[in-house]
A and B are shown apart, each in its own frame.
Chain A
Amino acid sequence: MKPLRQPAENLETSVPEDNGTKPATDQDAASNYWDYDYSNFYSGAGFDAFDILDPFDAWWEQARPRGYYLFGQPITTAPGTRVHLVETKGNTKLENLVNLASYNYLGLSYRPEVIAAAQEAIGRYGLGASGSPILSGTIDLHEELAEKVARFKNKESVLLFPTGYSANLGVISGLMRPGDLVVADQYSHASIVDGAILSKAKTRFFRHNNAADLDRKLQGFSGKKLVVIEGVYSMDGDLAALADIVEVSRKYGARILIDEAHSAFLFGEHGRGVAEHLGLDDEVDMHLGTFSKSLGGMGGYVGGSTKFINYLRGFARSRVFSCALSPGVAAGLIAALKIVEEEPELRAKLWENVAFLQERLRNAGVDIGDSESQVIPIMIRDDARIFSIAEELIHGGVYLNPIRYPAVGKHRSRFRISVSAAHTRDDLEEGADIIIRVLRKNGICS
């Protein structure tokens, strides 16, 4: 490339105000929408908290129809293997898309037994629990669900939360205090980060799955320490390097919390999660998860010793100050858990589907990163084009969500496939064919 060369005397110059160095206007920012993303609007100048709204709106009006509309489009069917979608850009209805976006890993959200249990509970108890779980909100279904989850997870006790998010919030902030140390994997879910913020403990993040960096972050700290990891990482689908992490944590006397949001009820001989799968279930102090993924409902839980659960009952503010789970959801979860226990073939079917789809995509040259699970990233690595590729995929017949900066690193944009046991071989073949065709057309794979 031709180097820029200028005479030294031109290195200090006077220029008119409108030569391009003049600050751009809101309209300029809007027309150059591609130079901006959500991260630009986190903080803003001015004395009114609403000062940021006009520049954000100017950008959003440009950005939304160019791709951001793809987030949060309404589905008009159950989150099954095929969905109907309202495309909000043109207000058109797209029908019978192969659904590779919902984390309904065992297809339980719409199983007739689950729906029937929920309907019956709503008929008996009504819509809501109408109270905090520590006051009037606990019903017998909550007790039954907690006991059954504890038995399934082989833990002394389990505490229920309204969501998986609130479980991490409540556990971390309920246990850790200012002056303590929380060390979490750098790819931790926002709920782990927010739990650490709420605890006011010192927080450090270690390099993803890197026990040596965890060691570095734990060194020299003499107070209470908590290490937080996930069983399956939600953007890459890889598993926790649990053996090494346990070893380092034990070396420094740190307690370990594992979030099995994407792995409980799926991994391991009994389906307890990645900790069981890796033979380290008893090495982990706290086992946390959500009911919104594999069980197809909503809510969260943490399992551990009865002493730990009893303590947390009084200090997990995200639970204490929230309404208890809806009776319909609790009953549906009990029914879903029963299916998981009685139909291990569901998990076998899921892993067959995962193996099939991973092989199909890899053989076609699709970059699926280091996925070892039902979470399969389709690495696009092109922040500028991911929205247009997403549109092609949806119009081609497959429903997938684009993921781009700042949700992942710059130029690490991707789609994230969630495989379900409910997918048929035809669903997966059709979905893979569409993905491969669109990626080839765009030069993403050969």
Chain B
Amino acid sequence: MNGAGEEIVVDVMGVAQRFDGRRIFENVSLSVRRGEVFAILGGSGCGKSTLLRQIVGLQVPSAGAITVLGRAMPRERGLVRSAIGVMFQSGALFGSMTLLENVMLPLEMHTDLPPEGRAAVARVKLGLVGLRDAALRLPAEISGGMVKRAAIARALALDPPLLFLDEPSAGLDPITSAGLDRLILDLRRDLGITFVVVTHELESILAVADRCIMLDAAAGGVIATGDPRRLRDDSTEPTVRAFFHRQAP
């Protein structure tokens, strides 16, 4: 299902995270190839979102090293800022701005496009996520699924080759969630974007992910890695089986 190349765009090498001496995870390694959809899975509290924050440079790992597009994170975060887009779990849209203004903001900050150019590009991005007609609405006036899609449009504003999505399907109904999955695949096909998706939504994982790693809070690190469909069918690890077959371990 993927058109991934061999170029490594995200390389995580033996990272760990501790808070006040408490271990969240340790010795986590992964590599993401250009053009693939890579999922970070696991139950609540296993450190999925923390790992994502480390990768995008928002959090300094307690140990290990991370490179994104060949740049060391978080030290060289500024050099890849416009090459990566991040969609946060809540969407994190600015409530006082319309969707159009939200998407225009990165263009205003990082390009010399004139206002009408910014608006045109932003409308195209909103069109890509199916929100063209909601451009002038405020985040508070749209549904949760639309907020997530608008957040993806904002993350796409600068045409980043690499997009990070934190729980894109969380709190959404199955139909909206499936629509988001389709959007991810469409964007990958049309724009060649590489996706790193943090999620615990089983249907989404199986629908979009080419490869995945699975974190476990009890194990304090990675317990499985590979094609999610093969993990579902072949894994003998109890937590992995429980996750994919919706059973208590």
Say whether A associates with B.
no
Residues in A lying within 8 Å of B, measured CB to CB: none
